[in-house]
Structure 1
Amino acid sequence: MSERNFRSHYYEKVGFRGVEEKKSLEILLSEDPVDIDKLSTFCARFSVPAMFRPLVWKLILGILPPHPSIHEFVWQQRTEQFNDLHRALKVMSAINEETPMSLCFLKMFLLEEGRLPLEEEKLPETDEHDLFVAIATASIEMNDEDDLESYWTAVCVFRNGRKMKDQIRMMYTQGILKKEDPALYNHLLTINSLERLPYTSWFNALFAGVLPTDALKRVWDRVLGGASRVLIYVALTQLLTHRHTLMGIGTPDLVSQYLQKMPLDMQKSSSTKPLNSGKRMGVT
């Protein structure tokens, strides 16, 4: 066993599994410029320590550039852009003190993209808007209600999610489920539920509004690092963990409703499995 492997094995035995990972991340972040590819690879393999997560996500998402020397300047520009958008909505009377922050973020995003209707009643309720609000709500919770951090994280994660190839992930999820649990697969197939599982919430919203915050952070670490296959594993974990309940549900609408709005204690029970155990299913 090499010296490095011995140290890693020792650290894991005594409960310091993340010691070397933390040191590696500190080295990566100290470089100028930061190697975004290496940083993404780290995120794809390991959960990011909480103290580094805000900076790591901003770098990977492109909110900040890889050159630390201009981070302060770029963040100031982001701040001014945020304030300008928020101020414009107030002038337009599109928001007020009672407007939920997630809805404020949606309108700011639409204004930035030139897609905000001038009249409030013409803002349609669409799946895309619901998706953004779900991501924004999760971002607000994960960033301890820091509006600036929350907005830019939500915008960039949403844009990242729009690139996801849902159809491919849906097919992989169904194929692996058929192999892992034929009885559950056949039940969902019989009640016409397989095609109506909440794939959008899973794969485009990256499980925002489905998983508790702590578990969601770890999933987003992997996805933002490029290991989006983990979404398939998390989807399968949801199905297999709750197979007993799902086997007793007879309609696709109730299946979808249960998987999206399961009680918090049930959410926790399905999110405590280590993400890397998805290797058994060949999806991480």
Structure 2
Amino acid sequence: MEIVCEPEDDVFLAIAKAMDEMVEDSVDCYWVTRCFVKQLNSKFRDSLPQLPKAFEQYLNLEDSRLLSHLKACSAVSKLPYDLWFKRCFAGCLPESSLQRVWDKVVSGSCKILVFVAVEILLTFKMKVMALNSAEKITKFLENIPQDSSDAIVSKAIDLWHKHCGTPVHSA
């Protein structure tokens, strides 16, 4: 018997794999993953499809030249949005960095995902600007170097505060 995985299953499995590194007990891992994915699919159902457009807007504010390069390479529509926004960077960032991002998502801000994506582009601007095809840019962004992920997340949180204001609980 062949088991067919739906795209939602791939999202669940990617998040579960990352969550498994964060949660010691496998039963807890399942339930935490299930609740996390359920929140994504219910609370952020209307917001998630808007994130690529928000990404483009904020990247334009931060570095319009970089966005122009992506457009010139026809890469904007081919960026790894599913990896970034549906999987919440599971399989892209190491778990230590994911925890900080997912904490914001669980707290109610899926928009943090946009700023992580923007910061990835800003961090690797020189590399991305040197690539001249959508395929090469996408391939690079799907496999970014892990060693700068903590700095990327810290800068993304700063960008999130800059554009969305300081949350009440951190004031």
With normalisation by structure 2, the TM-score equals 0.85
Question: 1:174 matched to which residue of 2?
Answer: 56
Question: 2:78 matched to which residue of 1?
Answer: 196
The SS at the match of 2:13 is helix
**Which one of 30, 41, 52 corresponds to residue 151 of structure 1?**
30
Question: 2:95 matched to which residue of 1?
Answer: 213
Alignment of 1:8-23 (within 5 A): none
Structure 2 Cα separation of the partners of residues 167 and 195 of structure 1: 13
Structure 1 Cα separation of the partners of residues 98 and 112 of structure 2: 12
2:112–2:156 CA contact under 8 A, matched in 1 = no
Q: Identity across aligned pairs (percent)?
A: 30
Kindly indicate whether residue 17 of structure 2 is the aligned counterpart of residue 137 of structure 1.
Answer: yes
Seen in structure 2, the aligned counterparts of structure 1 residues 277 and 225 have a Cα distance that, compared at 3 Å, is same
2:69–2:129 CA contact under 8 A, matched in 1 = yes
* Unaligned 5+ runs, structure 2: 167-171
Instruction: Write out per-residue CA displacement over residues 24-80 of structure 1, whole angstroms, 9 at most, x where no aligned residue.
Output: xxxxxxxxxxxxxxxxxxxxxxxxxxxxxxxxxxxxxxxxxxxxxxxxxxxxxxxxx
Aligned AA (1:137): K
Structure 1 Cα separation of the partners of residues 104 and 131 of structure 2: 32
Kindly indicate whether residue 112 of structure 2 is the aligned counterpart of residue 230 of structure 1.
Answer: yes
Aligned AA (1:174): E
2:18–2:90 CA contact under 8 A, matched in 1 = yes
Question: 2:149 matched to which residue of 1?
Answer: 267
Deviation of 1:235 after TM superposition, in Å, equals 1.3
Structure 1 Cα separation of the partners of residues 129 and 158 of structure 2: 27
Higher relative contact order (CA 8 A, sep 6+): 2
Aligned AA (1:279): H
Structure 2 Cα separation of the partners of residues 170 and 283 of structure 1: 20
Deviation of 1:269 after TM superposition, in Å, equals 4.1
1:211–1:271 CA contact under 8 A, matched in 2 = no
The SS at the match of 2:109 is coil
Deviation of 1:126 after TM superposition, in Å, equals 3.8
CA RMSD of aligned residues (A): 2.0
Aligned AA (2:11): L
Question: 2:122 matched to which residue of 1?
Answer: 240
2:66–2:129 CA contact under 8 A, matched in 1 = yes
With normalisation by structure 1, the TM-score equals 0.53
1:233–1:283 CA contact under 8 A, matched in 2 = no
Structure 1 Cα separation of the partners of residues 60 and 144 of structure 2: 23
Task: Please identify the structure whose Cα radius of gyration is greater.
Answer: 1
Aligned AA (1:156): C
Structure 1 Cα separation of the partners of residues 124 and 163 of structure 2: 17
